[in-house]
C-alpha cells in the first residue's frame, strides 16, 4: 500500500495567468494515493475560479479561503501555509507535498521525493536575484547551503545541473515534501522577508531534521506573464553543463 500524500497549494488571483497550465500539471501527477488542498487569499471569487479548474481536471481537492487580513505579502504566505498545515494534521495523511501555483515540475516528483526515505526532501526552481555589490541580476536556484564561516550561501547553477542528492540548509517551499512528524511539532513563521528559512532552521535546530535536495526534480518557474521572455531563464531545461573531456 502506498503512503498517503496531501498536496498543498497556496495561491491568489494574480496567478490566474498560469492557472490552466498549473492544473494541467496537477492532473498529470502519477502518484496514486494523493489528495489536494488549495488555499487562496483572494476571496470567494477566486475560490469559484479554482473550483472550475478542479472540476475540469477531476481531482479530489478541498479549497479554503484565507480571510485573515495581512499587511505584507509574506504574512499572507505564512497564514496560507499554516492553514494548510492545520488542515493536513486533521487528515490521516503521512506526507505533505507543497507545490507553488506558478511552478511546473515532473509528473513523478512525489515518487522520487519519497524514494529517499528522508523526512524533508525538495526539488529546485530558479529565481532572479540581484547581487548585493554589483547590483547585477543573476539566475540562481532557490536553495542554500549553510556553513559557520559564511552563513547561508546560495547554490550555483553548477550545483544543480548534474543529478545529485545531497544535504542543504534551506530552499523555497515551492516543491517540498514534509513528513507528518515534523509538522506536528513545527508551524510556519516569518522573519524579515521569508517564511522558508525559519521553517528549515526550526526543523534542523529543534528536531535535528535536515533538508535534502534531489536535483533531478526540476521545476519551471512561471514568475512572469506567460508571454514574458524572462520565464525562459527560469526553466532549468534551458541550461546544460559544459564538461570538457580530458585528452
Tens-level pLDDT at each residue, the chain (247 residues): 689 999 999 999 999 999 999 999 999 999 998 999 999 999 999 999 999 999 999 999 999 999 887 777 778 899 999 999 999 999 999 999 999 999 999 999 999 999 999 999 999 999 999 887 888 899 999 999 987 677 778 999 999 999 999 999 999 999 999 999 999 999 999 887 788 899 999 999 999 999 999 999 999 999 999 999 999 999 999 998 765 544 4
Which grid coordinates are listed for 54?
A: 478542479
> Could you count the other beta carbons within 10 Å of the beta carbon of residue 114?
20
Q: How far apart, in Å, are the Cα atoms of 229 and each of 22, 157, 222, 225?
A: 19, 19, 10, 9
Q: How many helices (H) and strands (E) in the chain?
A: 8, 15
Strand 137-141 and strand 165-168: pairing? unpaired
Which grid coordinates are listed for 200?
A: 528549515
> Could you count the other beta carbons within 10 Å of the beta carbon of residue 148?
5
CATH architecture of the domain with residue range 5-236: Alpha-Beta Complex (3.90)
Cα separation, 185 vs 203, whole angstroms:
9
pLDDT confidence of residue 1: 62
Task: Report the run of H or E that residue 83 belongs to, with start and end.
Answer: helix 73-89
* CA 75, chain centre distance (Å): 17
Residues 6+ apart with CB under 8 A from 41: 12, 65, 66, 67, 68, 70, 76, 79, 80
> Which of 173, 180, 10 is closest to 93 using CA atoms?
180
Cα separation, 130 vs 138, whole angstroms:
6
Cα separation, 80 vs 184, whole angstroms:
17
In sequence order, what are the beta bridge partners of 177? 97, 121
Q: How far apart, in Å, are the Cα atoms of 51 and each of 4, 45, 109?
A: 23, 10, 24
Q: Determine contact, residues 186/199, Cβ cutoff 8 Å.
A: yes
| Domain boundaries, given as residue ranges, for the chain | 5-236
Identify the three-state secondary structure at position 119: coil
pTM, full prediction:
0.94
Amino acid at each position: 500500500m502506498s503512503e498517503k500524500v496531501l498536496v498543498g497549494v497556496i495561491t491568489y488571483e494574480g496567478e490566474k495567468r498560469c492557472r490552466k497550465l498549473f492544473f494541467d500539471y496537477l492532473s498529470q501527477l502519477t502518484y496514486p494515493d494523493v489528495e489536494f488542498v488549495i488555499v487562496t487569499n483572494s476571496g470567494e471569487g477566486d475560490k469559484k475560479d479554482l473550483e472550475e479548474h478542479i472540476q475540469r481536471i477531476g481531482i479530489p481537492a478541498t479549497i479554503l479561503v484565507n480571510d485573515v487580513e495581512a499587511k505584507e505579502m509574506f504574512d499572507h504566505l505564512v497564514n496560507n501555509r499554516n492553514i494548510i498545515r492545520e488542515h493536513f494534521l486533521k487528515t490521516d495523511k503521512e506526507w505533505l507535498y507543497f507545490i507553488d501555483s506558478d511552478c511546473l515540475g515532473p509528473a513523478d516528483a512525489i515518487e522520487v521525493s519519497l524514494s529517499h526515505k528522508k523526512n524533508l526532501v525538495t526539488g529546485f526552481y530558479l529565481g532572479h536575484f540581484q547581487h548585493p555589490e554589483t547590483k547585477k541580476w543573476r539566475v540562481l536556484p532557490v536553495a542554500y547551503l549553510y556553513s559557520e564561516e559564511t552563513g547561508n550561501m546560495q547554490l550555483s547553477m553548477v550545483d544543480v545541473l548534474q543529478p545529485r542528492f545531497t544535504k542543504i540548509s534551506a530552499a523555497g517551499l515551492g516543491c517540498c515534501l514534509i513528513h507528518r512528524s515534523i509538522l506536528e511539532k513545527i508551524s510556519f513563521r516569518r522573519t524579515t522577508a521569508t517564511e522558508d528559512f525559519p521553517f528549515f532552521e526550526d526543523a534542523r535546530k529543534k528536531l535535528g531534521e535536515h533538508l535534502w535536495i534531489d536535483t533531478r526534480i526540476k521545476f519551471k518557474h512561471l514568475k512572469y506573464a506567460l508571454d514574458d521572455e524572462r520565464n525562459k531563464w527560469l526553466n532549468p531545461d534551458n541550461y546544460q553543463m559544459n564538461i570538457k573531456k580530458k585528452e
